[in-house]
């Protein structure tokens, strides 16, 4: 008998998570249209097409939704061994992009395919999550041993972060390092070991930055100005503080109830990348404080639901993969929104499921597909336990009791 005959049919996917995902994706598509339509309508570079970015985003959403449906119907345990088929190509592309990739906005993070751009970093994030989940689940108790368990895994994480920093892409490297730390903690790593590795990583990063500043002081002066401008953005509002000042002006103009859908002022070529990095500022301007809070609560409900599914998974591998996926999405959303509101430095990462971006939306939807596959296993086990409990009740049909005894 095959596995399905032994274990019974698979459970249903988690519909609350699926519905929340569809709501966020649909809202994101509407906001991409609102944030980009006036910008593209006034530019010959986009053929004066108000739907230029919206149509492209719709294509990416369709591709990501297809992957979601496919992965949702593949038992997630198959990725425990099959992750290698995804991990190795993702690492090869990540290693090549700093040298042969296309440079955009000061970073060589894309492979240009015609007018499209593929960002290997996004695929490497999911590949690393699948790798960490498989390796930690295989090690089990050995993972708590520093030399044989935690240290080799940490080297792989550091290698991935180093490849990302070669582009350079500080925001994505931060996201990878943070969600990897969450997975290590969830996998049972010793907190003392994690703390020691964090200190070591801080020292190595400080040394690397110091050497890099000596070799290329010009590029680092601009980066440092971007990182520190969030403390005093008005001191250089036409240069390093420009992005944050315009973002805060957008949020301020929104007030309590917002300027109304489509009535953002800052998106009219004042706010850079309103359909991408700063799409949350457009949300705040058009829907105000109340609309922003409703959006954040919906996003938090989505993340919370994903965490609940992960914790309910009957095996360690599914739990680690689920926690990694939701950590990746949640941490990236925090870094994006935190930068937009001036709470942390702006790092240039997108808002998952909302911002324009092909690689990001495809990988995020594919990741949610894996999470829905995990939810199907939990629901299958819960259904079997429920049927067993029902069959053991005194008032259950006699046929069921006889059958249970024969087993």
Neighbours of 14 (CB within 10 A): 23
Burial class of 206 by CB neighbour count within 10 A (0 to 12, 13 to 18, 19+): exposed
Inter-residue contact 123 to 93 (CB < 8 Å):
yes
What is the per-residue pLDDT for 9?
66
**Considering only CA atoms, which of 300, 297, 295 is closest in space to residue 281?**
295
Confidence of residue 398 (pLDDT cuts 50, 70, 90): very low
Mean predicted confidence (pLDDT) in 234-261: 85
Q: Tokens 């080297």 belong to which residue? A: 155
Residue 395 placed within a domain: no
Question: Can you tell me the distance from the alpha carbon of 273 to that of 360, in angstroms, rounded to the nearest whole number?
Answer: 16
Inter-residue contact 364 to 161 (CB < 8 Å):
no
Edge-to-edge strand ranges of the sheet holding 107-113: 102-104, 107-113, 116-118
| Tokens representing residue 248 in the block | 């805060």
Question: Can you tell me the distance from the alpha carbon of 387 to that of 5, in angstroms, rounded to the nearest whole number?
Answer: 17
What is the per-residue pLDDT for 387?
67
Inter-residue contact 17 to 302 (CB < 8 Å):
yes
Q: Which pTM value belongs to this model? A: 0.88
Residue 96 placed within a domain: yes
What is the per-residue pLDDT for 242?
84
| Tokens representing residue 244 in the block | 């944050």
Residue 284 placed within a domain: yes
Inter-residue contact 265 to 282 (CB < 8 Å):
no
113, pLDDT greater than 90: no
Residue 1 placed within a domain: no
What is the CA 182 to chain-centroid distance, rounded? 14
Residue 405 placed within a domain: no
Q: Which residues of 171-204 are buried (b: 16+ CB within 10 A; e: fewer)?
A: bbbbbbbbbbbbbbebbbbbeebeeebeeebeee
Per cent of the chain over pLDDT 90 is: 42
Total structural domains in the chain? 1
| Tokens representing residue 388 in the block | 């067993």
Which residues have CB under 8 Å from 219's CB, separation 6+?
A: 106
245, pLDDT greater than 50: yes
Residue 278 placed within a domain: yes
pLDDT in tens, 65-112: 999 999 999 999 898 888 888 999 999 999 998 888 787 766 778 787
* CA distances to 65, 141, 164 from 77, in Å: 21, 20, 28
Residue 392 placed within a domain: no
In residues, how long is the chain?
407
Confidence of residue 352 (pLDDT cuts 50, 70, 90): very high
DSSP assignment letter at 102? E
Question: Can you tell me the distance from the alpha carbon of 151 to that of 343, in angstroms, rounded to the nearest whole number?
Answer: 33
What is the per-residue pLDDT for 306?
95
Question: Can you tell me the distance from the alpha carbon of 189 to that of 197, in angstroms, rounded to the nearest whole number?
Answer: 11
**Mutual orientation of helices 84-100 and 120-139 as an angle, nearest 10°?**
140
Inter-residue contact 178 to 171 (CB < 8 Å):
no
| Parent domain of 340 | 8-381
Residue 396 placed within a domain: no
| Tokens representing residue 257 in the block | 């109830």
Instruction: Provide, for the chain, the percentages of residues in helix, strand and coil under a 3-state DSSP scheme, each rounded to the nearest 5.
Output: 75, 5, 25
Mean predicted confidence (pLDDT) in 214-227: 69
Q: Tokens 């006034």 belong to which residue? A: 42
**In 95-225, beta strands by DSSP E:** 102-104, 107-113, 116-118
């Amino acid at each position: 008998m095959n596995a399905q005959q032994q274990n019974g049919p698979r459970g249903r996917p988690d519909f609350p998570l699926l519905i929340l995902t569809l709501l966020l994706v649909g809202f994101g598509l509407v906001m991409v249209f609102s944030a980009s339509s006036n910008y593209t309508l006034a530019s010959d570079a986009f053929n004066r097409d108000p739907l230029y970015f919206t149509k492209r985003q719709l294509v990416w959403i369709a591709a990501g939704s297809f992957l979601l449906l496919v992965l949702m119907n593949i038992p997630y345990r198959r990725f425990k061994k099959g992750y290698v088929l995804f991990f190795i190509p993702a690492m090869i592309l990540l290693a090549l992009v700093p040298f042969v990739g296309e440079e955009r906005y000061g970073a060589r993070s894309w492979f240009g395919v015609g007018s499209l751009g593929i960002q290997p970093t996004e695929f490497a994030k999911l590949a690393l999550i699948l790798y960490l989940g498989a390796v930690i689940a295989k090690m089990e108790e050995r993972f708590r041993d520093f030399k044989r368990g935690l240290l080799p895994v940490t080297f792989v994480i550091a290698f991935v972060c180093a490849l990302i920093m070669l582009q350079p892409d500080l925001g994505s490297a931060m996201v990878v390092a943070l969600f990897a730390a969450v997975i290590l903690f969830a996998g049972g790593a010793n907190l003392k070991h994690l703390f020691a590795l964090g200190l070591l990583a801080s020292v190595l990063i400080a040394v690397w930055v110091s050497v890099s500043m000596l070799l290329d002081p010009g590029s680092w002066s601009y980066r440092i100005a971007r990182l520190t401008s969030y403390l005093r953005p008005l001191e250089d509002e036409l240069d390093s503080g420009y992005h944050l000042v315009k973002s805060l002006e957008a949020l301020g103009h929104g007030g309590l109830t917002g300027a109304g859908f489509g009535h953002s002022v800052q998106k009219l070529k004042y706010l850079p990348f309103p359909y991408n990095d700063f799409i949350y500022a457009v949300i705040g301007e058009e829907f105000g404080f109340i609309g922003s809070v409703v959006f954040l609560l919906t996003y938090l409900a989505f993340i919370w639901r994903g965490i609940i599914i992960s914790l309910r998974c009957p095996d360690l591998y599914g739990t680690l993969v689920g926690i990694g996926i939701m950590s990746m999405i949640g941490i990236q959303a925090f870094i994006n929104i935190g930068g937009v509101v001036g709470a942390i430095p702006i790092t240039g990462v997108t808002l998952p499921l909302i911002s324009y971006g092909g690689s990001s939306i495809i990988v995020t939807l594919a990741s949610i597909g894996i999470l829905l596959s995990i939810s199907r296993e939990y629901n299958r086990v819960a259904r079997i336990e429920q049927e067993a409990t029902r069959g053991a009740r005194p008032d259950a049909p006699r046929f069921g009791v006889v059958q249970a005894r024969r087993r």
